Chains A and B, each alone.
Chain A
Amino acid sequence: MAKILVTLKVHDIIKDKINRNGVLADGKMQITIPEESMVGDLIDLLDLTDDWVGLITVNKRQSTPEKPLSDGDVVELFSPLVGG
């Protein structure tokens, strides 16, 4: 199956959690995934449950787990916050 390369950026507690699992150090990484993968597949790959992901952007636009990914996409994941 053909593969695509996407960039993943994660922030604050998601970054911390992934670092605990030893996956990435600076919150940013390139991932090769099968073509036709969706954002949700990436989230599963990172072992993040619903509690953890509150906001997703793809190429700086808000997105959803159902969004199909294309080569070169930049996906950002943020944990939910109630307010500031």
Chain B
Amino acid sequence: MSKILRVNLTENKITSEPVPEKYLKLGGRALTAQVLTDEIDPACEPLGRHNKLVIATGLLSGSYLSSSSRLSIGGKSPLTGGIKEANAGGTAATALSKLGIKMIIIEGESKTGYSQYLYVNKDGAELRPAEMAGLGVYHSAKLFFERYGEKVSPILIGPAGEKGYYSAGITNTDPQGRPSRFCGRGGLGAVMGVKGLKAVIIDPADAPGVEYQDRPAFQELNKEMAKMLKENPVTGEGYPKYGTAAMATRTNALHALPTRNFSEGSFEYADKIDGEYLYKTIKARGGEGSTTHACMTGCMIRCSNVYADSDGKEVVAPIEYETIGLLGANCGIGNLDDIARLNYLCNDLGVDTIEIGVAVGVAMDQGVIPFGDAEAAYDLISEIADDTIMGKVLAQGALITGKVLGSRRIPVVKGQAMAAYDPRGIKGLGVTYATSPMGADHTAGSTARAQVEHTDPGPQVELSKKMQAFSMFADSMGLCLFVLAAFAPHLDKLAKLLEYYSGIKSSEQELLAGAAAALKTEREFNLRAGIGPAHDRIPEFMTEEPIPGIDSVFDVPHEELQKIAE
């Protein structure tokens, strides 16, 4: 891929630059980390004009390989105060690759006084006034499709991002145009919003398309990879049928399903919100629902879904495990219809369902509304749109909500809410939460699949370290983590695919070493931003309050955690 698009909002200037040599072998998360390190002062105000937003493609983006075109967005996070990358499926990364754009760097701060969007096509890019300012992401996306046709890929924020709320994410659209594929974490939607940018529209019409160094060799090896995905029980049967929601049965069994603000690890209604129940419900209702769905063109796994109501009308697509865990069990809500409505509401506002699920759980714990009351949860989240004080507090995420409400049970690390894995039930994920430069983020190194005793503190640091490197590797290639169930033993083949695609010669060892180096880059950024080992901590209540059922606290010693960086 040949170019970088640089958009300076202060000067209203857009330039196209060749990709410098040092960035050629970097993609996705690793690329965003390096660009941010090179171009911004880590001490800068995340919502100020010196922060930048880097929208990047992965190294395999646009290729035929299944699930290989995730969109990476990086910036300094208003939630963690450190470096952040969030990635998502959807169609935008492929569209960028077709246009030959490796990344878009957005800098400065608009002085126009009105919201704008960036339109990008084969002829260049232009900033245009965004009349859809203030609208939810569904309505906004519809307007963009009406104007530019159904083939464009909008990358956009909702009202929460426009207002600079820390829980705001950036979404892009699936192949059917649903703006529900969120780069959700870290408040990057707020970074985009304060710059006065509502959306980036990628129009791949008549684009030159991607080039292969050796297309026949790529296709040949790709057949082998496709066979692996098909034959692996998890990628061939598990994810396509039950989706990520199947995780609920596992975390529930491990006492790691956050329940009622992380006070319990198993939920009495877990079997009403898990993968099997979701599958049966969607199947029985028929209509617009679908038990399987691909978030990006060419994904063979199709772990996603379309959830319909009892009349068969689409409510939201998809429902994912994290949302089920945090807007569901963590809020004491054991009904998929309720969770689906809350999910749609969060999407439309453009907020991260993890951050908001945890914030609502904290608010329930503090008695603002009762646990299990889905209507009250809906009204509470709706306050974000209404700009009430409570809405503003909630929209700033779990930490601020907890502090304002006087909670001492706030499940966050480095200011960011935990995903739907209690670190007392799966301690390896606790290590990842504590030590990842990303803050509490399950995608930064999930250990849930590993065949270890999850409550034994012993092996977790090594395990988390390995998984953090694996995640960085996948996030840099643009790969969905789920392919690793089949591909993890074949990283050498992925290295070959990369060579056939872009000519970059490397080995499995080199790719993993590159991932470790990128993690180091992120840690160094954070150190310069004032975030160091002292911040690598799981909240105190989780080290003292045992999770019922297994009597486990998070007890991986702090000195052990520091071995991650060695």
Known contacts A51-B232, A51-B233, A62-B453; is A83 also within 8 Å of B249 by CB? no
Are B254 and A62 in touch, CB under 8 angstroms? yes
A17 to chain B, nearest CB (A): 8
Return chain A residues, CB-CB under 8 Å to B448: 81-83
Assembled-state Cα–Cα distance A51/B446 (Å): 18
B253 (CB) vs chain A CBs: closest residue: A57
Partner of B241, one of A12, A62, A82: A12
Assembled-state Cα–Cα distance A12/B254 (Å): 17
- Flag whether A36 is at the interface (Cβ < 8 A): no
A24 to chain B, nearest CB (A): 15
**Best-buried of A17, A64, A83 by chain B (most CB within 10 Å):** A83
Are B275 and A12 in touch, CB under 8 angstroms? yes
Of the candidate stretches B80-88, B94-102, B307-315, B477-485, the one touching chain A is B477-485
Return chain A residues, CB-CB under 8 Å to B442: 83-84
- Flag whether A16 is at the interface (Cβ < 8 A): yes
A43 to chain B, nearest CB (A): 13
A53 to chain B, nearest CB (A): 9
- Chain B 33-51, CB within 8 Å of chain A: the 1/0 string? 0000000000000000000
- Flag whether B25 is at the interface (Cβ < 8 A): no
Assembled-state Cα–Cα distance A17/B322 (Å): 26
Are A60 and B549 in touch, CB under 8 angstroms? yes
- Flag whether B276 is at the interface (Cβ < 8 A): yes
Return chain A residues, CB-CB under 8 Å to B420: 84
Are A83 and B455 in touch, CB under 8 angstroms? no
Instruction: List residues 12-63 of chain A with CB under 8 A from any CB of chain B.
Output: 12-13, 15-17, 51-52, 54-55, 57, 60-62
Are A13 and B485 in touch, CB under 8 angstroms? no
Assembled-state Cα–Cα distance A7/B73 (Å): 48
Are B244 and A84 in touch, CB under 8 angstroms? yes
Are B233 and A84 in touch, CB under 8 angstroms? no
Return chain A residues, CB-CB under 8 Å to B492: none
Q: Chain A: how many interface residues by the 8 Å CB criterion?
A: 23
Are A60 and B253 in touch, CB under 8 angstroms? yes
- Flag whether B454 is at the interface (Cβ < 8 A): yes
Return chain A residues, CB-CB under 8 Å to B242: 12-13
- Flag whether B262 is at the interface (Cβ < 8 A): no
The total of interchain contacts (Cβ-Cβ below 8 angstroms) comes to: 90
Are B275 and A83 in touch, CB under 8 angstroms? no
Are A84 and B481 in touch, CB under 8 angstroms? no
- Flag whether A68 is at the interface (Cβ < 8 A): no
Return chain B residues, CB-CB under 8 Å to A17: 233
Assembled-state Cα–Cα distance A58/B451 (Å): 15
Return chain B residues, CB-CB under 8 Å to A78: 249-250, 253
Assembled-state Cα–Cα distance A17/B351 (Å): 39
Are B454 and A62 in touch, CB under 8 angstroms? yes
Return chain B residues, CB-CB under 8 Å to A64: 453
Are A81 and B247 in touch, CB under 8 angstroms? yes
Assembled-state Cα–Cα distance A13/B238 (Å): 6
Known contacts A13-B238, A55-B253, A62-B454; is A79 also within 8 Å of B276 by CB? no
Are A83 and B482 in touch, CB under 8 angstroms? yes
Are B234 and A84 in touch, CB under 8 angstroms? no
- Flag whether B449 is at the interface (Cβ < 8 A): yes
- Flag whether A11 is at the interface (Cβ < 8 A): yes
Are B232 and A81 in touch, CB under 8 angstroms? no
Assembled-state Cα–Cα distance A81/B30 (Å): 25
- Flag whether A72 is at the interface (Cβ < 8 A): no
B360 to chain A, nearest CB (A): 19
Assembled-state Cα–Cα distance A82/B321 (Å): 12
Return chain A residues, CB-CB under 8 Å to B284: none
Assembled-state Cα–Cα distance A20/B316 (Å): 32
Assembled-state Cα–Cα distance A83/B454 (Å): 15
Are A80 and B253 in touch, CB under 8 angstroms? no
- Flag whether B497 is at the interface (Cβ < 8 A): no
Return chain A residues, CB-CB under 8 Å to B325: 84
Are A13 and B233 in touch, CB under 8 angstroms? yes
Taking Cβ atoms with an 8 Å cutoff, the residues of A that contact B are 11-13, 15-17, 51-52, 54-55, 57, 60-62, 64, 76, 78-84
22 residue pairs of the A-B complex, CB under 8 angstroms, read: A11-B249, A11-B276, A12-B249, A13-B242, A51-B234, A52-B233, A54-B451, A57-B253, A60-B549, A62-B253, A62-B254, A81-B250, A82-B234, A82-B448, A82-B484, A82-B485, A83-B247, A83-B448, A83-B481, A84-B321, A84-B325, A84-B442
6 closest A-B pairs (Cβ-Cβ)? A84-B321, A84-B247, A84-B244, A83-B446, A13-B238, A13-B237
Taking Cβ atoms with an 8 Å cutoff, the residues of B that contact A are 232-234, 237-239, 241-242, 244-250, 253-254, 275-276, 320-322, 325, 420, 442-443, 446, 448-449, 451, 453-455, 481-482, 484-485, 549-550
